[in-house]
Amino acid sequence: MSTTDLEAPDDTSPTAAAAANPLAQFVQGPRGAALDAYWMPFTANRQFKKNPRLFVKAQGMHYWTDEGRQVLDAVAGLWCVNAGHNRPKIVQAIQQQAAEMDYAPPFQMAHPKAFELADKVAQLTPAGLNKVFFTNSGSESVETALKIALAHARACGQGQKNLFIGRERAFHGVGFGGISVGGMVGNRKIFGPLLGGVDHLRHTHDLARNAFSRGVPQHGAELADDLERLVALHDASTIAAVIVEPVAGSTGVLLPPKGYLERLRSICDKHGILLIFDEVITGFGRLGAPFASTYFDVVPDLMTTAKGITTGCVPMGAVIVKNEIHDAFMVGAEHLIEFPHGYTYSAHPLACAAALGTLDTYAEEGLLTRAATMESTFADAVHALRDHPHVIDIRNIGLVGGIELAPRPGEPGKRAFDVFLDCWEQGVLIRTTGDTIALSPPLIIEPQHIERLVGAVSAALRRVA
Ligand SMILES: Cc1ncc(COP(=O)(O)O)c(C=O)c1O
């Protein structure tokens, strides 16, 4: 891999960074007033606005703050910047597309790059998953997949199949479908009765048996049998689909026990239930293979993706479905719309250009399998934190690491958040969910970056009470 474009630009002085920052007038002015209007998503707004953390520039493995500090990105932005920041080929692709054609309506019209991209994505996915429906985010991909599953059952004359099975501790985005099949209490409890007709499998997190596993944990494949319990309760004839993340990130880096996904697949097959893998974070190389389905060699019926499809630089998502699912819709009069669903910005030209540039970059630099090459260096470094204060588990797979801390009594999540703030002060961006530190660096990471990020977490863990 050429690293020339990944090196730090030399204008890292605060003045240069501020000059490049159109927001500088706000952040350097009376912060309280200027930061007031923006209601930030999934953010402790009041805490943030007292001491804002602002990025104004990015390149390769790093961000730069409005104060000119360089920050190592240990989470690929938000699990999305898999190719690293501001890669030239991708920047150029977006710039060219913006100059050439800004927008094309995706309903009853199209543009060539949408087809080119769908074809390239289909070539990366497991055999048989060849039909690509574009969205703008992971949440939209999840809503789309759930709707395809329901409409597919109906198209097959099985309209009574309208229940979904999700899993406890799952995150499937923030749409009403996604939070319904999801299993994060904090994201559900304030939003009313949600989607009807949803039940949940038990989650697979088992510290008693699996703490400090390297790679997938050994114990827990039998938890897939929980699906048999739900089938016995609801009857297979009422269940449209099961949706799971092959590896869950947002709920604390939860890995599937060895054999679990295979067992889920075979129970779904036995009962004629569709299996949806939510690959929003595992898609596009995170585990060391193009998709988790490739990695585990378990093929779902539908896959939801987003994030890495454009390496995060333009919003985009995609649902990839088995041919026969798509084909079940292609009946009736030809002038009729087969699936009444889609978004104004589905297959947006800028997103398609960005995605094509991204896939080229992945291919040229072997990034979709690079996590496999880096996995053992990364795992060694992360597991070296085992004896640090408060650490109760460490988990890893591909370029994903989870470090779970014992919560402070009466303050769940606070200890990990303090570690996050400490790392931020040290110039390393990590992410925490509950009391788990989640690491998911860009796939271009080199050993010296791993050393730096684990060094920062180590120092923070020693400091934080
Ligand atoms: C598994 C999974 N599904 C869906 C989503 C939602 O994606 P988005 O934030 O793009 O809507 C996420 C986001 O992290 C995710 O991890």
For 298-330, write each residue's pLDDT tens digit.
Answer: 999 999 999 999 999 999 999 999 999 999 999
CATH superfamily of 4-86+368-463: Aspartate Aminotransferase, domain 1 (3.90.1150.10)
CB atoms within 10 A of CB 2: 8
Residue of 280, 302, 304, 319 to test ligand 1 pocket, by largest number of atoms within 8 Å of CB: 280
Give residue for tokens 């309280």.
Answer: 32
The three state secondary structure string of 159-197 is: CCCCEEEEECCCCCCCCHHHHHHCCCHHHHCCCCCCCCC
* Least confident residue range of 30-39, 76-85, 96-105, 360-369: 30-39
Give residue for tokens 């009594």.
Answer: 409
**Which residues, at least 6 apart from 444, have a Cβ–Cβ distance to it below 8 Å?**
1, 6, 60, 61, 83, 84, 365, 367, 370
What is the distance between the alpha carbons of residues 19 and 268, in angstroms, rounded to a whole number? Answer: 56
3-class DSSP state of 56: strand
Q: Whose CA is nearest to atom 14 of ligand 1?
A: 250
Asked if residue 73 lies in contact with residue 62, where contact means CB atoms within 8 angstroms, the answer is yes
Asked if residue 280 lies in contact with residue 316, where contact means CB atoms within 8 angstroms, the answer is no
Residue 32 has pLDDT above 60, yes or no: no
Tell me, what's the pLDDT at 3? 40
What is the distance between the alpha carbons of residues 246 and 149, in angstroms, rounded to a whole number? Answer: 18
Tell me, what's the pLDDT at 27? 52
The number of C-alpha atoms within 13 Å of 47 and in the hemisphere containing its C-beta is: 7
Asked if residue 170 lies in contact with residue 245, where contact means CB atoms within 8 angstroms, the answer is yes
Tell me, what's the pLDDT at 34? 84
Q: Is the CB of 249 under 6 A from ligand 1?
A: yes
Tell me, what's the pLDDT at 438? 98
Residue 339 has pLDDT above 80, yes or no: yes
The percent of residues above 70 in pLDDT, for the chain, comes to 93
How much distance in Å is there from the Cα of 20 to the middle of ligand 1? 31
How much distance in Å is there from the Cα of 166 to the middle of ligand 1? 15
Tokens of residue 411, six digits: 């303050």
The percent of residues above 90 in pLDDT, for the chain, comes to 92
Give residue for tokens 């992410």.
Answer: 431
CB atoms within 10 A of CB 191: 11
Q: Is the CB of 137 under 6 A from ligand 1?
A: yes
Q: Is the CB of 171 under 6 A from ligand 1?
A: yes
How much distance in Å is there from the Cα of 171 to the middle of ligand 1? 7
Which amino acid, one-letter code, is at 37? A
Tell me, what's the pLDDT at 20? 53
**Which residues, at least 6 apart from 260, have a Cβ–Cβ distance to it below 8 Å?**
204, 220, 221, 223, 224
Which amino acid, one-letter code, is at 248? A
CB atoms within 10 A of CB 455: 13
**Which residues, at least 6 apart from 401, have a Cβ–Cβ distance to it below 8 Å?**
253, 378, 379, 382, 394, 395, 437, 438, 439, 440
Give residue limits of the domains in the chain. Answer: 4-86+368-463, 90-365
3-class DSSP state of 465: coil
Fold classified for 90-365? Aspartate Aminotransferase; domain 2 (3.40.640)
The number of C-alpha atoms within 13 Å of 93 and in the hemisphere containing its C-beta is: 22
Q: Whose CA is nearest to atom 3 of ligand 1?
A: 172
Tell me the pLDDT band of 111, cut-offs 50, 70 and 90.
very high
The number of C-alpha atoms within 13 Å of 61 and in the hemisphere containing its C-beta is: 20
Interval 442-460 mean pLDDT: 98
Q: Which atom of ligand 1 is nearest to the CA of 306?
A: 10
The distance from CA 428 to its chain's CA centroid, rounded to whole angstroms, is: 20
Q: Is the CB of 139 under 6 A from ligand 1?
A: yes
What is the distance between the alpha carbons of residues 56 and 23, in angstroms, rounded to a whole number? Answer: 8
Q: Is the CB of 144 under 6 A from ligand 1?
A: no
Residue 164 has pLDDT above 50, yes or no: yes
Give residue for tokens 């009574």.
Answer: 160
Q: What is the pLDDT of residues 189-246, one digit of tens each?
A: 999 999 999 999 999 999 999 999 999 999 999 999 999 999 999 999 999 999 999 9
Q: Is the CB of 277 under 6 A from ligand 1?
A: no
Q: ∠ CA(277), CA(283), CA(285), 5° rounding?
A: 140
Asked if residue 335 lies in contact with residue 325, where contact means CB atoms within 8 angstroms, the answer is no
Tell me, what's the pLDDT at 72? 98
- pTM of the prediction? 0.94
Residue 4 has pLDDT above 80, yes or no: no
Tell me, what's the pLDDT at 234? 98
Strand partners, 305: 318
Asked if residue 419 lies in contact with residue 437, where contact means CB atoms within 8 angstroms, the answer is yes
Give residue for tokens 């333009």.
Answer: 314
Give the burial class of 174: count Cβ atoms within 10 A of its Cβ; 0-12 exposed, 13-18 middle, 19 or more buried.
middle
Residue 184 has pLDDT above 50, yes or no: yes
What is the distance between the alpha carbons of residues 302 and 232, in angstroms, rounded to a whole number? Answer: 24
Q: What is the pLDDT of residues 389-417, one digit of tens each?
A: 999 999 999 999 999 999 999 999 999 99
How much distance in Å is there from the Cα of 463 to the middle of ligand 1? 32
Tell me, what's the pLDDT at 33? 54
How much distance in Å is there from the Cα of 374 to the middle of ligand 1? 24
Q: Is the CB of 290 under 6 A from ligand 1?
A: no
The number of C-alpha atoms within 13 Å of 386 and in the hemisphere containing its C-beta is: 11
Tell me, what's the pLDDT at 79? 98
What is the distance between the alpha carbons of residues 377 and 446, in angstroms, rounded to a whole number? Answer: 10
Position with higher pLDDT, 287 vs 4: 287
